[in-house]
Structure 1
């Protein structure tokens, strides 16, 4: 899946009220340790955080005293018990849907495109939330069940969920007029296309002239919890691999995966989609 690592951590100051820069820098250090795997050397933390080793070492001293970071005998660092306690409390308090909805709205405002969030059900993909393209209201997606074969989010689930879950949905969508081997070949073809770029790219049957791109959002069990989709008239979507729309979509998917507790390889490293 096309990706970058700690460079995803913002280096520019966001607009809004003045904050305390040292806290923001400290958060970058904690995120660098979170990437792991396992305990991390000072040199690696420094590179990931974009800070000098001496500056990082000063932060680590305070983090160790507060139990937010622990150091081992080799001089390597991992997240500590204080952060674990905070994380358990946050898991009880954070509204996951509101977290995702807020990030989806921000993605729409950033790209100027429509955004949808999909989940998987036994009957196939379901649009849980959508924000229409703010510039074009001729067509609008609606919340509720949608086709797996003709939606970008559906292609994400088709790629990453077990075949036992996706095959029955395909056969149902095709009215039972497809042999199992043919169904599997179709799913293999969808998966190959998604893995090649790290995102699904689909022309929407329900919205003529509209296209959609979608990426997975992973959870703490390393499972695909949601599909995050941008959609608009196809001529308005920049589908180039290095274009702003693709980059923003992948960054949002990685950020939400990190916030949902997904393993670091889902949001921090340039690894291929499984």
Structure 2
């Protein structure tokens, strides 16, 4: 029997359609706008939203607008963690972790910015506030800088502009401070193949990020290494950085067509 002829749960299908519509918005949305998008009566949409909120797939803000809930993000994160490219790379990622003896973060791109999907703890205590599920800042994290350099400018510039506005409002100095400074930094990152920060996000912690590129020369995922200044010197000729770059090249080669 084909899937089309099998009996399903129509109310579940409608509920998932409502969730799909909610996912298309990058910002919280009013019930009226959601019902118009679905061409569905607001009262009917509201009933499904009540259930989605109850199950934590959606949440209602104080102003009445709706946004995705924590369970929706966990669902998406679980799917990302099971992507074929990451599953195939686990042996090399673990080998890299053992060899460098530092903390390791694996990230994937989302429309909100780089998302941490895997975290391997270092053997020595390192205070790290970002965990699996964290969206990394674009300006002052090695992860964000790597994506900013290798991703299309049309995608990353709005995120950079937003962070500059936030830092300006908080009267905080950040590097790069503007688009021209970013373009200079971008050329350095593309030339060296890695992005680095030295205590920019966490005092006393160095971070280095390398992209793993697919056959279209796009970032499939990125690997960030975190450690103290003594454990992770930011010297491009240091054996640890050389090994990291070699591993990224090997992983990128695995994603190329045979």
**TM-score, normalised with respect to structure 1:** 0.55
Aligned alpha-carbon RMSD (Å): 2.3
The count of corresponding residues between Structure 1 and Structure 2 is 167
Contact in 1 for aligned 2:206/2:233 (Cα 8 Å): no
1:109 is matched with 98
Deviation of 1:240 after TM superposition, in Å, equals: 2.6
Contact in 2 for aligned 1:118/1:127 (Cα 8 Å): yes
Deviation of 1:227 after TM superposition, in Å, equals: 1.5
- 1:95 pairs, out of 84, 95, 116, with 84
Runs (5+) with no aligned partner, structure 2: 1-82, 170-176
Q: Which gives a bigger RCO, structure 1 or 2 (Cα 8 Å, sep 6+)?
A: 1
Deviation of 1:244 after TM superposition, in Å, equals: 1.4
2:67 is matched with none
Query: CA 1:247–1:262 in structure 2 vs 1: closer, same or farther (change >3 Å)?
Result: farther
2:185 is matched with 190
Cα displacement string for residues 216-258 of structure 1 (whole angstroms, at most 9, x for unaligned residues):
1011222111111111012211333332111111011011101
Deviation of 1:204 after TM superposition, in Å, equals: 4.4
Cα displacement string for residues 148-185 of structure 1 (whole angstroms, at most 9, x for unaligned residues):
1111121111111111111110111123659xxx7421
Query: CA 1:217–1:95 in structure 2 vs 1: closer, same or farther (change >3 Å)?
Result: same
Give the secondary structure class of the aligned counterpart of 2:230: helix
2:235 is matched with 240
How far, CA to CA, are the matches of 2:238 and 2:201 in structure 1? 26
Give the secondary structure class of the aligned counterpart of 2:119: strand
Deviation of 1:110 after TM superposition, in Å, equals: 0.5
Query: CA 1:219–1:196 in structure 2 vs 1: closer, same or farther (change >3 Å)?
Result: closer
Cα displacement string for residues 44-100 of structure 1 (whole angstroms, at most 9, x for unaligned residues):
xxxxxxxxxxxxxxxxxxxxxxxxxxxxxxxxxxxxxxxxxxxxxxxxxx9322223
Query: CA 1:204–1:240 in structure 2 vs 1: closer, same or farther (change >3 Å)?
Result: closer
Give the secondary structure class of the aligned counterpart of 1:175: helix
Deviation of 1:200 after TM superposition, in Å, equals: 0.9
Contact in 1 for aligned 2:206/2:234 (Cα 8 Å): no
**TM-score, normalised with respect to structure 2:** 0.59
- 1:220 pairs, out of 178, 199, 215, with 215
Greater Cα offset, 199-208 or 215-224: 199-208
How far, CA to CA, are the matches of 1:173 and 1:142 in structure 2? 20
- Structure 1 runs (4+) deviating above 4 angstroms are none
